[in-house]
């Protein structure tokens, strides 16, 4: 467990260090490049902010209205069969559909149950290990105007289910 925690913590600093050393070896104005990129980061946050406001209101309303509890209440018996925590279900359902909506839901889960709680960790791992499948497929097929996408959607969704299931299992084992 300690080794795993050490590797996890080491990954990010090591990568920054490597990139900076690599950058110095190849290019002189490394800090200018950094600033250029950081400025783009600012724009990213500004562009997602309106989406976040809209979705936070919708998801906050879903939770406080009690409708999520109602839905969870109905699907819990089914989820119990496969031992899937119903607290995570809203995230699992939205993850392939919308990146921003799933980010808002994940934030909601982390806040409600605690970031470092088992559900907070599961939500983090799910967010980190899966992509916005439907968006990706739409983007890549529409750019070349292909209509017949064959098996792509099914294969990607099955893989998403595997990713989410493994996230849950891994978090259970390691906590």
Partner 1 sequence: MLNIVWPIFIIISFSYAILSGNIDALNSSIFDSTSDAVNLSIQLLGTICLWNGIMKIANKTTMIEKLTKLLKPIMKLLFPEINPNSNIHKEISMNMVANILGLGNAATPLGLKAMKSMQKENENKDTLTNSMAMFIVLNTASIQIIPTTVIALRSSLGSSNPTQIVFQVWIATICAAIARNFCNKDIYKIFKKGEMTCK
CA 78/CA 168 separation, integer angstroms:
16
Query: Which element (helix H / strand E) includes 94?
Result: helix 89-94
Find all residues with CB under 8 Å of 98, minimum gap 6, and list them: 132, 135
Q: Does 78 bind partner 1 (CB under 8 A)?
A: no
- Shorter beta-carbon distance to partner 1: residue 86 or 164: 164
* Minimum separation from the CB atom of position 172 to partner 1 (A): 10
Q: Count of residues binding partner 1 (CB under 8 A)?
A: 102
The CA R_g of the chain, rounded to the nearest whole Å, is: 20
Q: DSSP 3-state assignment of 51?
A: helix
Site string for partner 1, 44-63 (x = CB under 8 A): xx--xx-xxxxxxxxxxxxx
CA 94/CA 130 separation, integer angstroms:
11
- Binding residue for partner 1 (CB under 8 A) from 28, 64, 81, 82? 64
- Binding residue for partner 1 (CB under 8 A) from 4, 28, 77, 82? 4
Task: Dig out the tokens for 141 from the structure.
Answer: 């097929």
* Minimum separation from the CB atom of position 118 to partner 1 (A): 12
| Footprint on residues 115-174 left by partner 1 (CB under 8 A) | 115-116, 120-121, 124-131, 133-137, 139-141, 143-152, 154-156, 158-160, 162-164, 166-167, 170-171, 174
């Amino acid at each position: 467990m300690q080794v795993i925690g050490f590797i996890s913590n080491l990954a990010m600093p090591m990568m920054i260090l490597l990139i900076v050393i690599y950058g110095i070896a190849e290019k002189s104005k490394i800090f200018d490049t950094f600033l250029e990129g950081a400025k783009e980061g600012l724009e990213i946050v500004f562009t997602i902010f309106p989406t976040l406001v809209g979705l936070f209101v919708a998801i906050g309303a879903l939770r406080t209205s009690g409708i999520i509890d109602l839905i969870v209440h109905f699907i819990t018996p089914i989820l119990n069969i496969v031992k899937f925590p119903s607290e995570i279900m809203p995230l699992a359902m939205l993850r392939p559909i919308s990146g921003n909506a799933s980010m808002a839901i994940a934030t909601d889960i982390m806040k409600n149950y605690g970031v470092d709680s088992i559900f907070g960790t599961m939500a983090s791992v799910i967010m980190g290990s899966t992509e916005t499948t439907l968006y990706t497929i739409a983007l890549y097929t529409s750019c070349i105007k292909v209509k017949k996408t064959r098996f792509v959607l099914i294969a990607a969704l099955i893989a998403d289910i595997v990713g989410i299931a493994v996230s849950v299992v891994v978090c259970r084992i390691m906590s």
